[in-house]
Amino acid sequence: MTTTVLPRVTYLNVRTTVASWLLTKDHKRIGILYLLVVSFAFLLGGIFAAGVRIELTTPEGDFVSADTYNRLFTMHGVAMVFFVLIPAVPAILGNFAMPLMIGARDVAFPKINLLSWYVFVIGFLFTLAAMLFGGVDTGWTFYTPYSSQASNSNVLLTGIGVFIAGFSSILTGLNFMVTIHRMRAPGMTWFRLPLFVWALYATSLVQILGTPVIAITVLMLALERALGFGIFDPRLGGDPVLFQHLFWFYSHPAVYIMILPPMGVISEVLACFSRKSIFGYSFVAFSSLAIAVFGFLVWAHHLFVAGISPYSAMVFSFLSFAVAIPSAVKTFNWAATLYRGAIWWRAPMIWVFGFIGLFLVGGLTGLFLASLGLDVHLHDTYFVVAHFHYIMVGGAIMGYFAGLHYWWPKITGRMYSNGLGTLAAMLVFVGFNLTFFPQFILGYLGMPRRYHAYPEEFQVLNVLSSAGASLLGIGYTLIACYLLYSLWKGEEAGANPWGATGLEWKTQSPPLPENFAQTPIVREGAYEYAKRETKVA
Amino acid sequence: MPDALAAHAEPHGHAHHPALQHHFQTMAQQQEAATLGMWVFLVTEVMFFGGLLMAYLLYRVWYPEAWSEGSLELDIRMGGFNTVVLIGSSLTMALAVRSAQTGAPRATVRWLLLTIALGLTFLVVKFFEYKEKYDLHHIPGPNFVFEGPQKDHLQIFFSLYFGLTGLHALHMVIGVSLLSVITWMAHRRRFSPEWYTPVEMSGLYWHFVDIVWIFLFPLLYLVDRAHQLS
């Protein structure tokens, strides 16, 4: 490490008043604003999860009542899905890094970018209010008619919060799509774009086409609950399954909002720490688009036991299998990139390996659930819970932390402890498997999800799971500690501590307020590692 | 992006158009970004209305009698009048954009004011239509009243009627507010043939809201009118 002093003028110190942060139009600062809110939501969701895991250490429902338990897992889901997983990578890392990576001064619509953060915060405040006034107990899926008629919890307030937060996601997607189309630096052709940018582009597509549908669905639910409209009301001849269709039309593609950007992160970090150009660049790029498109055609695999026609179930089963193909394309290309690479074991790379392993398990168990017969057995059991946590936590959150560890020196200009970063990645990896692998077995043995009590023979596996969750909690706390410590005592990182090729590493760390002193002119692809002598600054 | 390249050859500091924001290189790039952004936004709007239209489609197939009966309950004179008003407002909006493009600010203001007036006319007529439904207790909910065996299914019909037209009316209110700001800007001579993006973007939005109504009118008012005519 060199001992150069931090650059004098950066986006962090150019103005330091609170107002300069709250009124900033700088995409880098907006990324940090998102980081603060999302981290708080992550803590909150984690606390709810802790409540769930404490209850499940014993077979009896002795820690909380059944009703409280319902609220705990619902609020865990709502906080984590809508306020952590969906914004985490696009709104934090994408906001910070994407304009830098394409050589732009900012996103296309900086004011709308700031607006999207405020919209997000307002949505979050509504949801927080719902939690403070006693929470919500419908499950994060808000299935009717329970949510529209039976539940006596704060469905309306939560629904409004989710509705509002959805517009933040739409605005971010819109902004990114236009930015990627119109703001690229001279010479930054589509096939020189970093794969993270391709992944964000595919994500924008899902955000733009999917999110409005959940918005209108939640609105219909709200009209039904508040005013007595009758769109999903079976007493009038309405169809509750229509709600499920509309809900999953967004919420399945939403899984790809969560996983596509981390996949992009993986491509960046993996190429950098293998010192190789990514294998099959165009295949990886197009697989992101393919996942986004296929992702819209698989939603009814959530409804296999809801009474849909066997013919449509067969089609959706087939399409759900098909979506595995572009995901496998990515995984194989990552493996091929590693092959004969000069692998550099630093903290971000450990997170990447964690991602690949866990995503693989999550993806393959998804195929079990896409099978019509097997799904009848596994539906609404802990197998499903384990499967989607392998994707959402093992995939999305591991990928998020890979990206955060990769870009942290760029964001803050400081290095964190590599040893602690590696330790945290391993703790989370072990803790995660200990938490969720037993749940595959529990689900296979028939333990249903969403109950606060269970038969005694399931206790051993549940205790293992709760023990793993404590490890996870320790791992995440550790990350917060050493990252915050690095702000204070971290070594200065220099412009390019990883010897990476992307444009974001060609400007100082932390970057200038306007990103680049001169707009870069791009003359080569994103991963020309082979051509250059890799120098670690 | 040849324009961006060309702009790069010269150092920063030459005279910019006052409306050029700092993060764009050229006016053309800024204009293209705004246009693309607006179209993408309209796509999200299509999906937003799409969810309700999906519900409409399902129940129309399931309950054709209720749909026929419900449709006949709607006031086709008011609906038809409003359709003409809205199509007219799209014409005046297009003329406003054209005036801005050719640098005729007085005409721009005039056409915009006329567009706003037509938009308000639509909303006033819609208000009286809603009021009539309110008096007849056709607002879905616990107080919904309808004589006949189709009562429950008609409540679904009216839920969708109010959902769709209410959402459309909300878009009209937003549109009228938007156009008021644009009119004020036009009055202050803010637009020129080099820069009239806000007029054009509001125009796109206005036409979209108009087109939504072009779909809603036959879907809601004209379900089974052919019977009536023959």
pLDDT digits (tens, 9 = 90+) for A419-443: 999 999 999 999 999 999 999 999 9
For residues A251-258, give the mean pLDDT.
96
What b/e readout covers A67-98, taking b as 16+ CB neighbours within 10 angstroms?
A: ebbbbbbbbbbbbbbbbbbbbbbbbbbbbbbb
Q: Spell out the domains of chain A, with CATH numbers in brackets.
A: 18-505 (1.20.210.10)
Distance CA A216, CA B48 (A): 6
Bridge partners of residue A152, in order along the sequence: none
Distance CA A199, CA A264 (A): 5
For A515, half-sphere exposure in the C-beta direction (CA atoms, 13 angstrom radius) is 25
Q: What is the distance, to the nearest Å, from the Cα of residue A435 to the centroid of all Cα atoms in its chain?
A: 19
pLDDT at A8: 80
Is residue A165 pLDDT above 90, yes or no? Answer: yes
Question: Is the CB of A220 less than 8 angstroms away from the CB of B37?
Answer: no
B55 contacts in chain A (CB < 8 Å): 220, 231, 242, 246
For residues B186-203, give the mean pLDDT.
95
Q: Where are the alpha helices (DSSP H) in A275-379?
A: 281-294, 310-322, 324-338, 347-370, 372-378
Question: Is the CB of A178 less than 8 angstroms away from the CB of B43?
Answer: no
For residues A67-85, give the mean pLDDT.
97
Question: Is the CB of B141 less than 8 angstroms away from the CB of A104?
Answer: no
pTM of the model: 0.94
Three-state secondary structure call for residue A512: strand
Kindly report whether the peptide bond that precedes residue A240 is cis, defined as omega within 30 degrees of 0: no
Q: Are the C-beta atoms of A389 and A76 separated by less than 8 Å?
A: no
Distances (CA, A) of A44 to A154, A511, B21, B59: 18, 31, 39, 41
For residues A78-89, give the mean pLDDT.
97
Question: Is the CB of A220 less than 8 angstroms away from the CB of B43?
Answer: no
Give pLDDT tens digits for A212-239. Answer: 999 999 999 999 999 999 899 999 999 9
Q: Name the band, by pLDDT with cuts 50, 70 and 90, for residue B9.
A: very low
Give kind and range of the element (H or E) at residue A210: helix A195-227
Question: Is the CB of A178 less than 8 angstroms away from the CB of B44?
Answer: no
**What is the predicted ipTM?**
0.93
Is residue A537 pLDDT above 60, yes or no? Answer: no
Is residue A494 pLDDT above 50, yes or no? Answer: yes
For residues A477-488, give the mean pLDDT.
97
Surface of A (243-272) touching B: CB under 8 A: 245-246, 249
Is residue B65 pLDDT above 80, yes or no? Answer: yes
Chain A CA closest to residue B29: A182
Distances (CA, A) of A90 to A170, A205, B147, B209: 12, 12, 53, 30
pLDDT at B22: 85
Q: Name the band, by pLDDT with cuts 50, 70 and 90, for residue B19.
A: confident
Return phi, psi of residue B184, to 5°.
Answer: -60, -45
Interface test with B, best of A107, A119, A178 (most B CBs within 10 A): A178
pLDDT at B11: 46
Interface test with A, best of B23, B24, B65 (most A CBs within 10 A): B23
Q: Name the band, by pLDDT with cuts 50, 70 and 90, for residue B7.
A: very low
Higher per-residue confidence, B229 vs A349:
A349
Is residue A267 pLDDT above 50, yes or no? Answer: yes
Q: Name the band, by pLDDT with cuts 50, 70 and 90, for residue B4.
A: very low
Question: Is the CB of B44 less than 8 angstroms away from the CB of A212?
Answer: yes
pLDDT at B14: 55
Question: Is the CB of B51 less than 8 angstroms away from the CB of A212?
Answer: yes
Is residue B8 pLDDT above 50, yes or no? Answer: no
Q: Name the band, by pLDDT with cuts 50, 70 and 90, for residue B218.
A: very high
For residues A371-378, give the mean pLDDT.
95
Question: Is the CB of B33 less than 8 angstroms away from the CB of A183?
Answer: yes
Interface test with B, best of A164, A176, A216 (most B CBs within 10 A): A216
Q: Are the C-beta atoms of A126 and A155 separated by less than 8 Å?
A: no
Q: Are the C-beta atoms of A250 and A140 separated by less than 8 Å?
A: no
The answer to whether the Cα torsion of A448, A449, A452, A457 is positive or negative is positive
pLDDT at B16: 78
- Both tokens of residue A2? 């060199």
Q: Name the band, by pLDDT with cuts 50, 70 and 90, for residue A531.
A: low
User: Residue B158: which of B137, B135, B179 has the closest Cα?
Assistant: B137
**B188 CB-near residues (< 8 Å, 6+ apart):** none
pLDDT at B6: 41
Q: Name the band, by pLDDT with cuts 50, 70 and 90, for residue A40.
A: very high
Is residue A451 pLDDT above 70, yes or no? Answer: yes
Chain B CA closest to residue A207: B44
DSSP string of A10-23, one letter each residue: -TTTS--SHHHHHT
User: Residue A400: which of A342, A339, A363, A359 has the closest Cα?
Assistant: A359
Distance CA A20, CA A18 (A): 5
For residues A98-112, give the mean pLDDT.
97
For residues A104-131, give the mean pLDDT.
97
Q: Name the band, by pLDDT with cuts 50, 70 and 90, for residue A6.
A: low
**A379 CB-near residues (< 8 Å, 6+ apart):** A304, A305, A369
Give pLDDT tens digits for A296-343. Answer: 999 999 999 999 999 999 999 999 999 999 999 999 999 999 999 999
Question: Is the CB of A184 less than 8 angstroms away from the CB of B1?
Answer: yes
pLDDT at A44: 97
Question: Is the CB of A178 less than 8 angstroms away from the CB of B33?
Answer: yes
Long-range contacts of B68-73 (CB under 8 A, 24+ apart): B68/B223, B68/B224, B68/B227, B69/B148, B69/B150, B69/B154, B70/B154, B70/B157, B70/B158, B70/B161, B70/B223, B71/B157, B71/B220, B71/B221, B71/B222, B71/B223, B71/B224, B71/B225, B72/B223, B72/B224, B72/B225, B72/B228, B73/B138, B73/B154
Three-state secondary structure call for residue A448: strand
Interface test with B, best of A211, A229, A251 (most B CBs within 10 A): A229
**Nearest-10 Cα torsion for A73, A78, A81, A82:** -170
**A150 CB-near residues (< 8 Å, 6+ apart):** none
Give pLDDT tens digits for B135-164. Answer: 999 999 999 999 889 999 999 999 999 999
Q: Spell out the domains of chain B, with CATH numbers in brackets.
A: 24-229 (1.20.120.80)
Q: How far is B230 from chain A (nearest CA, A)?
A: 31
pLDDT at A39: 98
- Option in A104, A210, A237 nearest B156 (CB): A237
For residues B34-54, give the mean pLDDT.
97
pLDDT at A497: 96
Whether A211 and chain B come into contact, CB under 8 Å, resolves to: yes
Give pLDDT tens digits for B91-125. Answer: 999 999 999 999 999 999 999 999 999 999 999 99
What is the SS3 assignment for chain B?
A: CHHHHHHHHCCCCCCCCCCCCCCCCCHHHHHHHHHHHHHHHHHHHHHHHHHHHHHHHHHHHHCHHHHHHHHHHCCHHHHHHHHHHHHHHHHHHHHHHHHHHCCCHHHHHHHHHHHHHHHHHHHHHHHHHHHHHHHCCCCCCCCCCCCCCCHHHHHHHHHHHHHHHHHHHHHHHHHHHHHHHHHHHHHCCCCECCECHHHHHHHHHHHHHHHHHHHHHHHHHCCCHHHHHC
Q: Are the C-beta atoms of A236 and A230 separated by less than 8 Å?
A: yes
Distance CA A366, CA A383 (A): 10
Report which DSSP code applies to A214.
H
Q: Are the C-beta atoms of A142 and A155 separated by less than 8 Å?
A: yes
Question: Is the CB of B50 less than 8 angstroms away from the CB of A238?
Answer: no
Q: Name the band, by pLDDT with cuts 50, 70 and 90, for residue A7.
A: low
Distance CA A49, CA A75 (A): 9
Distance CA A495, CA A537 (A): 7
Indicate the average pLDDT of chain A. Answer: 95
CA angle in degrees (0–180, nearest 5) for A81-A87-A89: 115
- Both tokens of residue A353? 């390996």
Whether A178 and chain B come into contact, CB under 8 Å, resolves to: yes
For residues B65-75, give the mean pLDDT.
94
pLDDT at B1: 37
Give pLDDT tens digits for B73-94. Answer: 999 999 999 999 999 999 999 9
A213 contacts in chain B (CB < 8 Å): 47-48, 50-51
For residues A180-192, give the mean pLDDT.
96
Residue given tokens 């993060």 in the structure block: B23
